[in-house]
């Protein structure tokens, strides 16, 4: 055991110097001593698998007043490491006379456990293997290390101590060393793999290496009170950035709110556009469906005027009063038919005007504000669902395109109204002339100068017929244009319908977006304060400045300045080396003393 050799050397030294005067205790005057601080170093030896083997404690005192000091511990045996004074042990009470400024004694423990469970496992080429079977083997070695709190042990050590585990590996035996959670460092010609277990943590580590003719020194562990020297970080700059982030998210939320309002307006506008477009489509289709009847009726009028013009072109002698009376009746019927056509065109003009006004108002209601690429990029980076953002952008562009297309075609829409007005005016003028002609025939049926009246009638009817030919040709062109417009506008109306459906979905998505940015803004508004609070909490978790050491061996011990643990496993070495060690241990006291000077 460690300590025995030291005590033997001290005894040898004492044999070589004159005997000291008798102490006060030998004179029967035992003096009570005192110490200011006590330190405990707990040494433990483990088997290669981590099971506990031996344990002893070296107790160190800073003596204030020389004399008898008292300590406590359930030791199986004790040993004075400072002088030859006898240590008195009764149950857990230890008494010894300490005269030096520092006093050491060793106490051996048999029934006390470490505060941690420490387990080592070994695999060779993926197969579990007992550590005693590893010696001299070749292959890929994997060492598993697990630490946890020992049930029933005083939790003060597990909760406040940092454990450092060091695995020494001979570079001539091990290569390709890997330790995902450890640090690999050079130590002379060898390598050392170091793992750290923080207070209150249960850890699992692994180290792998390719090995040839395996031998291993002891795995060593040291446990000391955690004293992380950390100053609170200066986060003023970060807090400033966090404030900027909070301001930015608030601005994004404001923008998203405005966007949601704008999209709501857009949705209302597209709904109005669709309603107006539907009325316009119905009107243009109604106009187109009546075009055939209008052209057919106009053709009948044209034919009747041509027949009347033919009759009127005959000489006065060829006409009789019956023909004139029939012509007058035909003119009245033509005039009545034209009046109905005129009334139909007037109704159509009114319906068209109303539909066009609604369409124009609906298109004007689409917001014309510009969303820049910077706005779109900020929206993409806001953390909002990218699918929603894509829908927003797609609908925005579709709405603006519809508005632009309507603006380009607005001239054609505007021209349709005047064309209908002109057609109505032309029909009205022709109708007035036909009515006037019929009145003239009726007036002149009883006239004496029939020939002269017939001549004037012939000229008027021929003029009507020629003028109506031009009107009919224009009417045919107009109705053909109406047919093309009706067919084309069906596609326009279908597109407006899709736009309306899209803006409705978009409005719902924009509402979700606004809710999300609102939550984001709320969650980041106090971000600097929350970050400071988290840092304070984290610092407090690793602040062990208020930790007061307690004795590992007895709660009765006082003035504890520190308690440390030094733990090591058995090495995996060849037997001849162990025999050499045993032979060395068998040296005489005098040989050992002489070795100090060789």
Q: What is the pLDDT of residues 100-114, one digit of tens each?
A: 899 999 999 998 999
Among 246-255, 286-295, 316-325, 385-394, the range scoring the smallest mean pLDDT is 316-325
**Tens digits of residue pLDDT in 334-357:** 667 667 666 766 766 676 677 667
Helix (H, G, I), strand (E, B) or coil at 80: strand
Q: In this structure, what is the dihedral angle of CA atoms 285, 286, 287, 288, given to the nearest 10 degrees?
A: 50
| H helix or E strand, kind and range, residue 68 | strand 67-72
Helix (H, G, I), strand (E, B) or coil at 239: helix
**Tens digits of residue pLDDT in 461-512:** 666 666 677 767 766 776 776 666 666 666 666 767 666 666 666 666 667 6
Give me Rg for the CA atoms of the chain.
56
Q: Report the pLDDT value the prediction gives residue 364, as an integer from 0 to 100.
A: 73
Q: Report the pLDDT value the prediction gives residue 533, as an integer from 0 to 100.
A: 64
In this structure, are strands 127-128 and 174-178 parallel, antiparallel, or unpaired?
unpaired
CA–CA–CA angle 76, 81, 85 (5° rounding): 90
d(CA 140, CA 122): 10
**Tens digits of residue pLDDT in 237-295:** 665 666 666 676 766 666 666 666 666 766 676 666 667 667 666 766 666 665 666 66
Q: Report the pLDDT value the prediction gives residue 464, as an integer from 0 to 100.
A: 65
Helix (H, G, I), strand (E, B) or coil at 487: helix
Q: Is the pLDDT of residue 393 over 50?
A: yes
Q: Judge whether 34 and 67 are in contact, CB under 8 Å.
A: yes
In this structure, are strands 183-187 and 190-197 parallel, antiparallel, or unpaired?
antiparallel
Using pLDDT thresholds of 50, 70 and 90, give the confidence band for residue 515.
confident
- In which order are the strands placed within the sheet that holds 174-178? 127-128, 116-124, 139-149, 203-211, 174-178
Q: Is the pLDDT of residue 564 over 80?
A: yes
Task: Share the mean pLDDT of the chain.
Answer: 75
C-alpha 530, offset from chain centre: 19
Quote the percentage of the chain above a pLDDT of 90. 35
Tokens of 214: 């395996």
Q: Judge whether 548 and 37 are in contact, CB under 8 Å.
A: no
Helix (H, G, I), strand (E, B) or coil at 136: coil
What average pLDDT score do residues 555-564 get?
95
d(CA 300, CA 323): 20
Q: Is the pLDDT of residue 6 over 50?
A: no
**Which of 327-331, 540-544, 554-558 has maximum average pLDDT?**
554-558
Pick the closest to residue 514 from 264, 212, 180, 328 (CA basis).
Answer: 264
Phi (first) and psi of residue 174, to 5 degrees: -115, 140
Q: Judge whether 167 and 143 are in contact, CB under 8 Å.
A: yes
Q: Judge whether 266 and 457 are in contact, CB under 8 Å.
A: no
**Tens digits of residue pLDDT in 417-471:** 676 677 667 667 776 766 776 676 666 655 545 556 566 666 666 666 666 777 6
d(CA 274, CA 409): 17
Q: For every residue of 241-308, which 3-state class applies, written as one string? A: HHHHHHHHHHHHHHHHHHHHHHHHHHHHHHHHHHHHHHHHHHHHHHHHHHHHHHHHHHHHHHHHHHHH
| H helix or E strand, kind and range, residue 78 | strand 77-80
Residues 6+ apart with CB under 8 A from 392: 259, 263, 379, 506, 509, 510, 513
Q: Report the pLDDT value the prediction gives residue 35, as an integer from 0 to 100.
A: 96
**Tens digits of residue pLDDT in 115-163:** 999 999 999 999 999 999 999 999 999 999 999 999 999 999 999 999 9
Buried b (16+ CB within 10 A) or exposed e, 309-333: bebbeeeeeebeeeebeebbebbbe
d(CA 347, CA 23): 137
What average pLDDT score do residues 573-587 get?
60
Cα–Cα distances in Å, from 33 out to 36, 59, 66, 89, 98? 11, 16, 5, 17, 7
Helix (H, G, I), strand (E, B) or coil at 116: strand
Q: For every residue of 161-198, which 3-state class applies, written as one string? A: EEEEEEEEECCCCEEEEECCCCEEEEECCEEEEEEEEC
Q: Report the pLDDT value the prediction gives residue 447, as an integer from 0 to 100.
A: 54
d(CA 595, CA 598): 5
d(CA 370, CA 544): 59
Strand partners, 168: 192
Using pLDDT thresholds of 50, 70 and 90, give the confidence band for residue 371.
confident
């Amino acid at each position: 055991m460690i300590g025995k050799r030291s005590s033997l050397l001290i005894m040898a030294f004492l044999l070589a110097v004159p005997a000291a005067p008798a102490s006060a205790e030998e004179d029967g005057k035992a003096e009570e001593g005192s110490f200011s601080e006590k330190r405990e170093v707990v040494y433990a030896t483990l088997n290669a698998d981590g099971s506990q083997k031996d344990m002893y404690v070296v107790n160190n005192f800073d003596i204030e007043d020389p004399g008898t000091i008292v300590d406590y511990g359930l030791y199986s045996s004790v040993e004075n490491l400072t002088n030859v004074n006898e240590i008195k042990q009764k149950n857990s009470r230890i008494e010894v006379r300490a005269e030096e400024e520092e006093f050491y004694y060793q106490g051996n423990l048999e029934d006390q456990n470490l505060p941690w469970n420490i387990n080592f496992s070994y695999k060779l080429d993926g197969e579990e293997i007992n550590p005693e079977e590893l010696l001299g083997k070749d292959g890929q070695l994997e060492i598993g290390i697990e630490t946890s709190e020992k049930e029933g042990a005083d939790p003060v050590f597990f909760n406040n101590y940092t454990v450092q585990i060091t695995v020494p590996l001979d570079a001539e035996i091990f290569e390709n060393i890997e330790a995902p959670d450890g640090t690999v460092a050079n130590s002379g010609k060898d390598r050392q793999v170091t793992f750290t277990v923080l207070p209150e943590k249960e850890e699992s580590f692994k180290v792998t290496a390719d090995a040839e003719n395996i031998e291993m020194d002891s795995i060593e562990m040291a446990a000391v009170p955690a004293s992380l020297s950390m100053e609170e970080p200066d986060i003023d700059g970060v807090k400033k950035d966090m404030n900027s982030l909070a301001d930015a998210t608030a601005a994004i939320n404001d923008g998203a709110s405005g966007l949601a309002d704008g999209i709501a307006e857009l949705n209302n506008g597209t709904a109005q556009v669709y309603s107006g477009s539907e009325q316009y489509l119905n009107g243009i289709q109604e106009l187109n469906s009546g075009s055939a009847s209008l052209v057919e009726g106009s053709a009948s009028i044209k034919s009747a005027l041509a027949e009347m013009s033919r009759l009127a072109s005959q000489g006065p002698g060829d006409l009789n009063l019956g023909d004139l009376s029939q012509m007058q009746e035909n003119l009245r019927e033509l005039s009545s038919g034209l009046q109905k056509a005129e009334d139909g065109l007037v109704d159509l003009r009114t319906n068209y005007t109303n539909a066009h006004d609604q369409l124009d108002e609906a298109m004007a209601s689409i917001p014309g504000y510009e969303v820049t690429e910077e706005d779109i990029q900020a929206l993409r980076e806001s953390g909002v669902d990218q699918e929603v953002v894509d829908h927003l952008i797609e609908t925005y562009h579709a709405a603006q395109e519809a508005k632009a297309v309507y603006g380009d075609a607005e001239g054609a829409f505007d021209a349709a109204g005047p064309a209908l007005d002109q057609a109505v005016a032309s029909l009205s003028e022709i109708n007035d002339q036909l009515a006037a002609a019929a009145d003239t025939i009726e007036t002149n049926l009883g006239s004496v100068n029939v020939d002269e009246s017939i001549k004037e009638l012939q000229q008027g009817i021929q003029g009507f017929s020629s003028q109506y030919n031009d009107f009919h040709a224009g009417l045919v062109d107009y109705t053909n244009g109406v047919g093309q417009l009706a067919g084309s506008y069906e596609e326009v109306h279908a597109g407006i319908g899709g736009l309306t459906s899209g803006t409705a979905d978009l409005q719902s998505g924009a509402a979700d977006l606004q809710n999300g940015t609102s939550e984001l803004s709320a969650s980041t508004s106090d971000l600097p304060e929350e970050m400071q609070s988290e840092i304070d909490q984290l610092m407090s978790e690793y602040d062990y400045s208020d930790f007061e050491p307690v004795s590992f061996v007895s709660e009765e011990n006082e003035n504890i300045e520190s308690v440390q643990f030094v733990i090591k496993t058995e090495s995996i070495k060849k037997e001849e080396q162990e025999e050499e060690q045993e032979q060395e241990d068998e040296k005489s006291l005098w040989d050992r003393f002489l070795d100090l000077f060789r």
